[in-house]
Amino acid sequence: EPEVTQTPSHQVTQMGQEVILRCVPISNHLYFYWYRQILGQKVEFLVSFYNNEISEKSEIFDDQFSVERPDGSNFTLKIRSTKLEDSAMYFCASKEGVTNEKLFFGSGTQLSVL
């Protein structure tokens, strides 16, 4: 079965550093999402992306965050200047079309900010 792939699986960074989390969505999918889960808490929506632009973003997704689909296959989440509270598991997800509700998740990138 096709799958969403995320790299790296773990990322450790110093506070204030920039990180880029990478995702390769399923190839025929058109809608892309980033979610995160802080340890012991719920899975939180960050941003959705369609047709090369952000369609919605949450309050968490402030100016330090950005997303990009640089080459038609990768979908990246950049955090410009990481904070301790950005430590979380970040999940990329994609779905095929607007009426297809099934969202496919990658296995996540565990980000640790020291």
Chain residues in the site for another protein (CB under 8 A): 4, 6, 9, 31, 33, 35, 41-45, 48, 50, 55-56, 91, 93, 98, 101-108
To another protein, the closest distance from the beta carbon of 113 in angstroms equals 19
Residue with Cβ nearer another protein (16 or 48): 48
To another protein, the closest distance from the beta carbon of 61 in angstroms equals 12
Q: How far apart are CA 108 and CA 110, in angstroms?
A: 6
Instruction: Please measure the distance between the N-terminal and C-terminal CA atoms of the chain and give it in whole angstroms.
Output: 36
Q: How far apart are CA 23 and CA 105, in angstroms?
A: 10
Residue with Cβ nearer another protein (31 or 75): 31
| Whole-number Cα distances in Å, 66 to 41, 84, 101 | 23, 18, 25
